[in-house]
Chains A and B, each alone.
Chain A
């Protein structure tokens, strides 16, 4: 069973299934680096998934859907920033509000517009680089993904570079390490944090869009199914480093791709025991991560 074809399909699926989580994790890593946590990623992703599907159906262009998803991510993250930085509301409370709002907004508006039943939408086609896309194993895995996947990888690298190698990144990290000290150094703390939160909203919106216009080609109610929370877990596992969080997300993609294949290989095994694998993996990874690196601050 473990032949080249199987491995090719598994790895290609890993990237496809991990990408939505990975996209959201990139922005959340930046946001957490600046000191603001958004547990509401799940709600932002749901809103992004719906808006992208709606935009794709309405305009016929999945790319416009993706743009709409980024916009809704920006708006919702703006609300989070206003609540947390403007009104001084607890981050957790605002985030939970965002989860619930995203659930309501996406399901309510979906039933009014594109219908409660899964509606198929115009998806983004995968890229085809010609001959190189057909090279065994590496072709389908590396050179035949959705354009969003390459954008995601570039974003992960670029975000890490900005955070670690630029003056702006240093300022952002200072905000997250100690906001008071950053303030005395004349760093505009709230503006930096707002920018990071908004960036987090955009990538979460993109992650949601990836689900509806690339991975599933439809909007289904509550289709994010915990991926937003998994993205937050990835940021913990990657210790708030964007590229590491992104790679952790691909780890969950692998778990998901693996369990889907196990379902077909072992049809007698109750599928429910396989569906839970990525969630169990998340818990195990948090525990193992702690054991390996020793205790650290909460």
Chain B
């Protein structure tokens, strides 16, 4: 059918352009795009790279789940960076009390991280539902606020005792997520992320809350008409969305940093949105999208070390992937979209 041929040509054009744009920038930098691509792939699937890919995929999965959960309800959470910091800060604040608690200390530590992010998310949901304040703007503004707050805390009240470096005290060993493959940074947070994928998938498909969120996203008027308490629902959804990012914060501290410091988020918030969009908001697809972006993050670091290509190349690749995945929806419309 010519229809099928049209689609094939469209997909070809989209993929070509998506590969062309980052390649152009690589050429501008004086490198061979094919060599850069092979270096990236060889590193990502090589003996050192694969674990780094997963290390980056852990927070991206958690953040992506939270973003997707809110976006299904038509709520834009661009504040994952801020919520991640809120979770990390609250978890580290209480961490010293869990010394000697063993595994219970770790679980409580992670739960408090989720609460920290959840509280910030709930605040956004409250302003959105009761005061009509755009959650897009409020979440972004809170990112900048939280970056300053952690900057203050690690130079002030929560700074390490020697008061030399801008970082907090170490969390007790009980709260540390152990490395699961010796010689790498891959930590037990990978299990936390996988459990949360399952939890999110169940909430999405099998619970009243997940159903109500989908209805709210598809048709807010219908949600109100059906008697859903839309304001409370908005608050709860934003709280849960924030809780995922807050959990990511506690996991990053427990698995990687073991303390608070600047630049813990590395722009995971924006990448998490990309992950959620590429996975088409499906919880089960999010870890795979997160691994793809893990390849970009870990690979861009390798490209900078080995080929002296500036790290921000990762953002150019990410943007190309976002546009390409969106354009594929145009190239191959789903039946649902075609009917609409």
Contacts and interface: CB of A to CB of B under 8 A. Distances in A.
Interface of A: 39, 83, 87-90, 92-94, 96-101, 103-109, 111-112, 116, 221, 225-226, 229, 232-233, 236, 270, 272-273, 275-276, 279-280, 282-283, 286-287, 290-291, 295-296, 298
Given A225-B144, A283-B141, A104 B314 contact: yes
Contacts, number: 138
A225 B25 CA distance: 24
B152 interface: yes
A229 B141 CA distance: 8
B211 interface: no
Given A280-B145, A286-B138, A108 B322 contact: no
Contact of A291 (B131, B141, B274, B329): B131
A98 B319 contact: yes
Contacts of B141: 226, 229, 233, 279-280, 282-283
Contact of A290 (B133, B145, B322, B330): B133
B134 A236 contact: yes
Contact of B149 (A272, A283, A286, A296): A272
B319 A108 contact: no
Interface string B297-340: 00000000000001011111111101100110110000000000
B270 A87 contact: no
B137 A97 contact: no
Contacts of A282: 137, 141
Interface of B: 25, 28-29, 76, 78, 127, 131-134, 136-138, 140-145, 148-149, 151-152, 155-156, 267, 270, 273-274, 277, 310, 312-320, 322-323, 326-327, 329-330
Contact of A93 (B144, B155, B277, B317): B277
Task: Provide the main secondary structure of the chain B interface.
Answer: helix
A105 B60 CA distance: 22
B138 to A, nearest CB: 5
Contact of B313 (A83, A93, A104, A275): A104
Given A83-B327, A276-B148, A104 B140 contact: no
A96 B322 contact: yes
Given A107-B310, A270-B152, A272-B152, A93 B326 contact: yes
B326 A97 contact: yes
A89 B327 contact: yes
Contacts of B140: 226, 229
A111 B310 contact: yes
B80 to A, nearest CB: 12
Contact of B132 (A83, A88, A283, A290): A290
